[in-house]
A = this chain, B = another copy of it.
């Protein structure tokens, strides 16, 4: 009554297990009629070859892992969507891991994965810590890895990112052109490559405009909403900037809350631009000017890079860079 396995199916059909097995693999020689008979019986009994047995035999899991810092975020859900499309096409399963931006979880996930559970890993790093050595340990090398968006520069694997420098430069320039003289830069972890590069774009745009860089306007935030609320409230009170460049969506959101509560008007008193994949950016009060990354494409590109490596096509050490789009909306434009 329970699970039907290949043996039972073979018995019922008066065939050997090998013949039955052959019906399920594409390549092997098998009489079309026999194959049809087998498949129809398999269907009737709802038989599916046991995944674990096949994988043990083949030393191949047909599964890839996706590791992201968070799920409740349009950027990552879109990227995952992209990865999954490609994976599905290739007949692969996807296993999703969420680190909640905790370095320990990231390490734990990766180390666990050395058990052969997956054939490859696509990751956007948490970046909470600076020790990436765990990725170089014995065993690590045996499983292909691809980074997307948030990467560790010192780890030599294929990467897919966006043109963070250019778009940060442009976003900052947009604020300057709007008349901002004192622009704060909001970042979560400026030592993480992404924060770092984005800050560089910001700095250079200021420089080009002859605005001196002021360390006090670089605001190091956290991933915690209530902490950020405090940090931003203090900053807005003390520094009174007239522009805000949020290097991460959640910091723009927090800024909105703080501005609303402090009675600071957007964009009249302060203009805001943010990296964001929010689909409803234009419905916010006021509509949020965004730098929008091609999240879905980042996903498909990362997946394709991984599969290339998996298929041994090349020893890929590529770094693909896609372009983001600056979409000015009301938060940075006085009408």
Contact = CB atoms under 8 A, between A and B. Distances in A.
A142 B3 contact: yes
Interface stretch (A14-22, A51-59, A188-196): A51-59
A39 B285 CA distance: 57
Given A52-B56, A98-B84, A287-B285, A116 B3 contact: yes
Contacts of A74: 72
A44 B139 CA distance: 10
Interface residues of A, number: 52
Interface in A253-303: 253, 256-257, 260, 279-280, 283-287
Nearest to A63: B95
A78 interface: yes
Contacts of A114: 46, 48
A137 interface: yes
Contact of A81 (B44, B71, B137): B71
Contacts of A283: 253, 256-257, 260, 284-285
Given A74-B72, A142-B3, A48 B81 contact: no
A45 B115 contact: no
Nearest to A100: B81
Contacts of A84: 98
A223 interface: no
A61 interface: yes
A38 interface: no
Q: How many copies altogether?
A: 2
Interface string A301-334: 0000000000000000000000000000000000
A181 B272 CA distance: 40
Nearest to A105: B88
A39 to B, nearest CB: 14
A157 interface: no
A303 to B, nearest CB: 15
A94 B111 CA distance: 16
A96 to B, nearest CB: 5
B111 A48 contact: yes
B115 A46 contact: no
A90 to B, nearest CB: 15
A329 B71 CA distance: 26
Interface string A121-140: 00000000000000001111
A53 B77 CA distance: 32
Interface string A90-124: 00011110100000000000011011110000000
Nearest to A44: B138
Contacts of A280: 253, 256, 284
A56 B94 CA distance: 20
A183 interface: no
A80 interface: yes
A49 interface: yes
A219 B280 CA distance: 22
A256 B282 CA distance: 10
B139 A46 contact: yes
Contacts of A3: 116, 139, 142
Contact of A61 (B52, B61, B111, B286): B52
Contacts of A61: 52
